[in-house]
Amino acid sequence: MKPNAFLLAALALAGTPFLAAVPAGAAESALELHQGEIFSDPVGSVMNVSVTNGTQATLESAVVNCDFTAGSKPAGSASVTLYNIVAGTKGDGQVHLMGVKADTATCAITSTTPPQ
């Protein structure tokens, strides 16, 4: 039995809620990341992002990291933490890359925290 499967089985027997028992990577399959259009402001580049919580529990936080490029060359990365995403709802935020006018970005949910 894999370590994560064993942990899930042990916690399920203890009556622990499912989301709290799932490692961040596994919980992300129930989360959906949406990227908006990238735009520039006087300070740098901005990407609107949102995370839809498809789980049965409130998510304490989700970190979204974006890798920005300018002219097909890496321009930097930045992240935002979205807090208290209630089950079945969407959390919104913006990722700001300072000092660079990027033209594309690729984003991913890099970590999550279940409610305490």
Distance of alpha carbon 29 from alpha carbon 51, whole angstroms: 12
Which of 8-17, 24-33, 47-56, 94-103 shows the lowest per-residue confidence on average (mean pLDDT)? 8-17
Res. 13: pLDDT tops 60 = no
- pTM of this structure: 0.74
* pLDDT score, position 105: 97
Task: Please give the Cα distance from 21 to 80 (Å, whole number).
Answer: 24
The amino acid at 17: P
CA distances from 72 to 1, 2, 69, 85 (A): 44, 40, 6, 33
| Residue 29: predicted pLDDT | 67
26: DSSP letter = H
Higher pLDDT, 43 or 17: 43
Question: Tens digits of per-residue pLDDT, 22-44?
Answer: 444 444 469 999 999 999 999 99
What does the CA dihedral 108, 53, 41, 98 come to, rounded to 10 degrees?
Answer: -40
Q: How much is the mean pLDDT over the chain?
A: 82
Average pLDDT over residues 30-59: 96
CATH number of 23-113: 2.60.40.1620
Q: What is the pLDDT of residue 7?
A: 32
* 93-116 pLDDT tens trace: 999 999 999 999 999 999 999 887
Q: Where are the domains of the chain?
A: 23-113
